[in-house]
Structure 1
Amino acid sequence: IGIGGSDLGPVMVTEALKHYKNHLNIHFVSNIDGTHIAETLSGLNAETTLFLVASKTFTTQETMTNAHSARSWFLEKGGKENDIAKHFAALSTNAKDVSAFGIDTENMFEFWDWVGGRYSLWSAIGLSISLSIGFDNFKELLAGAHAADNHFKTTEFGGNMPVILGLLGIWYINFYNAETQVILPYDQYMHRFAAYFQQGDMESNGKHVDRNGNEVDYETGPIIWGEPGTNGQHAFYQLIHQGTRIIPADFIAPAQSLNPLGDHHPILLSNFFAQTEALMNGKTEEEVSSELKKDGKSADEIAKLAPFKVFEGNRPTNSILLKKVTPYTLGSLVATYEHKIFVQGIIWNIFSFDQW
C-alpha cells in the first residue's frame, strides 16, 4: 500500500521482472478511490495476507486511508488486534505512528529521510520487489544500477550514456522547441516503464525557478509519456510521424525474448527497427507516387492522395537494445535514466531533487 514513488517504482519493477517471480502473489493499492482496495481485498485470504504500508512519514493521506481500510478488513475477517503486528509491516521513518497503528517496530524497514520517493525503489521501499523476485535477484537489480552509477561517474562525456541522453534531450527541448518525449519499450513486461519515468522526470525537472531562486527564461522538463510497442503504433505513432511537433522518442527493446513463441519476437523487433528507420528517413512524394502507381491508381488519384501519405522524416529517436530483460539489465537501464534526469537538471541549473 503506497502512492507515488512508493508505488510506481515497485509496480514497474515487479511487472518488468514478472518472469522471475516466485510463489508469492504481490498486489499493489495506491488510489484513494475505495474501488482500488475493495477490488484487491475481495480476492484475498486474511490469514495468508501480509500488508506492507509504504510511507516515509506514515502520514500520506491516500496511503494511510487505504492502510486503515486494510486493517479494518483484516479484523472483520477474523483477525485479532494482536495479529496486526504479524500481518502488517511498515516501510517508514516514523516509528511513533507505526507503533500506534499496531505494527511492531521490529517490522519497520527504515530508509534515509533524504531519499525521494521517485528514487526509492533501491531502498526499503523495494521490499515488495524483493519478496516478488527473491533477494538474490534484487541484489542483481542493485548490481545493474551500481554498474550504471560507475559508468556515469567514470566515463568520459563522449561515451557517457546518461550525459549523451541528457544532452540530446536539451538539444531538442531548448533548440527545437520539443515539449514532450515519448518512451516506447518494445517489451510487454516493461509496460509500466514510461509511467514510472513520468514521475521520475516530471517531478524532478518540472521546475520554473533556478538554484538561485530566480525565474528561468528557458524551457525545462518535458512531458513524458508512452506505451509499449507495438500497441502505440496503432494509437499515436501517426502524430510522431506526421504531426507538426517534434517528439523525440526512446525505443527500448530486448534482443532476446523471455517468451520465445513462434515468430512473435522477430516480428516485434522488425517493427522496432522499421519504425525508427521510417522516422529517420520518412517517405517522399516521389516514393508515395511510385507506390500508388504500382497499386494501379490513376494520375488524378495519385495527385490527390500523395500529399497525405508523405512523411517528412528527420524525426529524432534513440534506440536502446538490451540483450534480454533481467534484474541486472533493468537496474542498469533505470539508473541510466535517473542520471540523465540529473544531467539535465544541472544544465538547467534547477534542483532536480526538490519536491514541494
Structure 2
Amino acid sequence: MLPHQSQAWAALNALARTEPPRILDLYAAEQQRLSALAPEVGGIRFDLSKLPLSATHFEALEALAEAADLAGWRTKLAGGEVVNPSEGRAATHMALRAPEHRGEQAALLETAARIRAGALGPIHHIIHIGIGGSALGPQLLVDALGARGDGPEVHVAANIDGTALARAFAACNPVETLLIAVSKTFTTQETLTNLKSALDWLAAGGVADPVGRVVAVTAAPDKARAHGIGEILPFAESVGGRYSLWSAVGLPLAIRAGPQAFEALLDGAHRMDRHFLETPWLSNAPALAAMADVWLAAFAGKPTRAIFAYDERLRLLPPYLQQLEMESNGKSVARDGTPLPFDTAAISWGGTGTDAQHAVFQLLHQGTHADPIEFVAVREPGHDLDPIHHRLLLANCFAQGAALLKGRTRAEALAEAKGDEALANAKGFPGNRGSATILLDKLTPDRLGALLSFYEARTFAAGALMGLNSFDQWGVELGKQVANQLASGDTGGFDPSTEALMRAAGL
C-alpha cells in the first residue's frame, strides 16, 4: 500500500480541512514547542518552531511515517539495497561518508596531495568541467570553504554556452592550469564539448601534452581512457550526480583546501547520517523538516519554498538545493508508476541575504502568496572586518522571520499612517507567515558536511513519506534526447513554434 492510500493520509487530509493555527498562539499552547522543534545536531540549530504546524500535525505526520515505512526505506538506503526501482539501483552516497567505507576517497585524497605537491607541474589554476551535480556540488564546496585555502584557484565551467568557458580561460594561464572533467557516463554532451575546447586552449597556450593535464572523474573509466586520459578517479554507478560531491567529484575542494578539509566534510556528514538513522522521528531534524515539507506542499497547498542564505559563503546553497529537491522529488507518479493525486515537491527558489530583502521580500511580507521560507545563517563571520557587518547581517536575518510572524495589526497600521485609511491598508501586514531558521555555529568543513547531509536525508524522507522514487530523473533525460535530436538538424515532427525558432536561429 502506498502512503496516500493509508488511514494516516486520510487523517492528514481531514486535518487540512480545519482552521490553520496561529503560530504565535502555539508557543503558549505548547510549552515545549521551542525545545521540541529546534533540535541541535553537530553544531547546527534547526529551528522549525515558526512553521504553521502544531504538535497535532506532527503526531499525525509521525503516523504517516509509520504507514509509509520510512524506517524500512531508511534501512534500505543505508544498507545499499535498491531504493531506485525504475533503474533497479541502490543509492550509495551515504556509505561514502562512513569511516569503514572510505576506500574510494583514499585515491581522491592521494591525488589531491600529489597535485598540491606539484606532481603534475606548477598548477595554480583548476578548471573544473561538469554539469548538474557534477558542477553544483563542487562549486558550492569551493565557494563556501575555499576562500582561505592555499591550493590552486578553482574555476567551474558547466554551461554549454562558450561564454562560461571563456570566462574561466580569461582567469587562467594555460601552462599553469589543470583540467578536471567530471561525467558519470563520460558521454555528457556539454562536458565533452567543453573538455575538447579546453584541450584546444591548452594546446594553443603552449602545453605540449594537453591530455596529460586532465583528471577524469567518472563511473565509466573505460570511456575516459578511450579519450586518451590516463589520470582517472572512478566512482560508483550507484552514486547519483546530485549526491556525488562525497565521491571523487569533490576533488576540487581537496586540492584547494587540502585533503584534511575533505575528510572533515565527510566526518560532519557521517555525524548527521547517524542522527538520521538512530533518532526517533519527532526528535530527528531531517525527518521533522521532511514532515513539514510534505504537510505544506501536499496538504496545505503551499507550492513553493524559499531558501535565503544569510552568509555570502553559502550563496550557492539555494541553486544547489534546487537541483537536490526538485530533481529528486519533482515527480507525479509513485514508485510503482501509478499517478499521485496530490502536489509533491515544492518549487525551491531563493537567494542571498541581505540582497534579497531589497528584491523579493516585499512579496513575502505583503503579497498574496504565503508559502514557507527558510533562513540559513552562521554565528561566526567569515571575515575579519568590523563586527558590525556580521551583527547587522544576523539582525536582518532574524528580523525577517520575526516580522513575517508578527505582521502589523490594523491599529498599528493606522497609528503608523496617522489615521489615513488608504495608507494604513498599504502599511498593514497580515503576519502569521511561517519560516524556519537554520543556524550554524561556524562554517567549517564538518559543519557544511552535516548541513548538506541534513538536506539529503530530508529530501529522501519527504520522498518516502509521499511514496515516490527520489533517485530517478527521467525528465532530465527527455530534455537531453530532444536537444540531441535538434542539434543533429532533425527538426521534423516538432510543433510549428519550435520549427520556426530553429529556422530563425539558422540551425
TM-score under structure 2 length normalisation: 0.67
Query: 1:18–1:189: 8 Å Cα contact kept in structure 2?
Result: no
How much does 1:85 deviate?
4.2
Q: Does 1:133 align with 2:257?
A: yes
Q: Does 1:46 align with 2:174?
A: yes
Q: 1:281 aligns with which of 406, 412, 415?
A: 406
Quick one: distance in 2 between partners of 1:170 and 1:98? 41
Q: Does 1:346 align with 2:480?
A: no
Query: 2:305–2:372: 8 Å Cα contact kept in structure 1?
Result: yes
How is 1:169-188 mapped onto 2 (pairs within 5 angstroms)? 169-188=293-312
Q: 1:238 aligns with which of 362, 385, 410?
A: 362
How is 1:321-332 mapped onto 2 (pairs within 5 angstroms)? 321-332=439-450
238-247 or 57-66: bigger deviation: 238-247
How is 1:210-289 mapped onto 2 (pairs within 5 angstroms)? 210-262=334-386, 263-289=388-414
Quick one: distance in 2 between partners of 1:73 and 1:272? 44
How much does 1:37 deviate?
0.9
Q: CA RMSD in A?
A: 1.1
Residue matched to 2:101: none
* SS of aligned partner of 1:91: strand
* SS of aligned partner of 2:154: coil
* SS of aligned partner of 1:215: coil
Distance 1:216 1:332, change over 3 A: same
Deviations 1:179-203 (A, max 9, x none): 1101111100100000001000000
Q: 2:452 aligns with which of 334, 337, 341?
A: 334
Aligned-partner residue type, residue 414 of structure 2 = S
Q: Does 1:17 align with 2:145?
A: yes
Q: Does 1:291 align with 2:416?
A: yes
Quick one: distance in 1 between partners of 2:162 and 2:375? 36
How much does 1:20 deviate?
3.5
* SS of aligned partner of 2:344: coil
* SS of aligned partner of 2:460: helix
* SS of aligned partner of 1:121: helix
Aligned-partner residue type, residue 229 of structure 2 = I
How much does 1:319 deviate?
1.1
Distance 1:43 1:267, change over 3 A: closer
Quick one: distance in 2 between partners of 1:97 and 1:347? 38
Residue matched to 1:296: none
How is 1:48-63 mapped onto 2 (pairs within 5 angstroms)? 48-63=176-191
Deviations 1:262-292 (A, max 9, x none): 2111111111111110111111111111223
Query: 1:186–1:230: 8 Å Cα contact kept in structure 2?
Result: yes
Query: 2:253–2:261: 8 Å Cα contact kept in structure 1?
Result: no
Residue matched to 2:109: none
Quick one: distance in 1 between partners of 2:222 and 2:447? 38
Aligned-partner residue type, residue 66 of structure 1 = N
How much does 1:19 deviate?
3.4
Query: 2:149–2:257: 8 Å Cα contact kept in structure 1?
Result: yes
Query: 1:93–1:110: 8 Å Cα contact kept in structure 2?
Result: yes
How much does 1:243 deviate?
1.4
Q: Does 1:88 align with 2:206?
A: no
Deviations 1:307-345 (A, max 9, x none): 111111111101111111111111101110110000110
What 5-or-longer segments of structure 2 have no aligned partner? Answer: 1-128, 475-507
Residue matched to 2:225: 99
Q: Does 1:194 align with 2:324?
A: no
Quick one: distance in 2 between partners of 1:176 and 1:242? 19
Aligned-partner residue type, residue 214 of structure 2 = F
Q: Does 1:36 align with 2:159?
A: no
Residue matched to 1:157: 281
* SS of aligned partner of 2:150: coil
Query: 1:197–1:224: 8 Å Cα contact kept in structure 2?
Result: yes
TM-score under structure 1 length normalisation: 0.94
* SS of aligned partner of 1:313: coil
* SS of aligned partner of 1:227: strand
Query: 1:248–1:316: 8 Å Cα contact kept in structure 2?
Result: yes
Residue matched to 1:5: 133
Quick one: distance in 1 between partners of 2:167 and 2:378? 34
239-248 or 339-348: bigger deviation: 239-248
Residue matched to 1:114: 238
Quick one: distance in 1 between partners of 2:264 and 2:307? 24
Aligned-partner residue type, residue 336 of structure 1 = F
Quick one: distance in 1 between partners of 2:247 and 2:221? 17
- Deviating beyond 3 angstroms after TM superposition, the runs of 4 or more aligned structure 1 residues are none
Distance 1:124 1:23, change over 3 A: closer
Quick one: distance in 1 between partners of 2:178 and 2:384? 34
Query: 1:176–1:246: 8 Å Cα contact kept in structure 2?
Result: no
Quick one: distance in 2 between partners of 1:234 and 1:273? 16
Aligned-partner residue type, residue 13 of structure 1 = L
What is the total number of aligned residue pairs between the two structures? 345
Quick one: distance in 2 between partners of 1:11 and 1:283? 41
Quick one: distance in 1 between partners of 2:163 and 2:441? 39
Distance 1:79 1:232, change over 3 A: same
How much does 1:43 deviate?
3.1
* SS of aligned partner of 1:28: strand
How is 1:67-86 mapped onto 2 (pairs within 5 angstroms)? 67-80=195-208, 83-86=209-212
201-210 or 167-176: bigger deviation: 167-176
* SS of aligned partner of 1:19: coil
How much does 1:231 deviate?
0.7
Deviations 1:124-144 (A, max 9, x none): 110112111111011111111
Q: 1:206 aligns with which of 323, 326, 330?
A: 330
Quick one: distance in 2 between partners of 1:18 and 1:93? 26
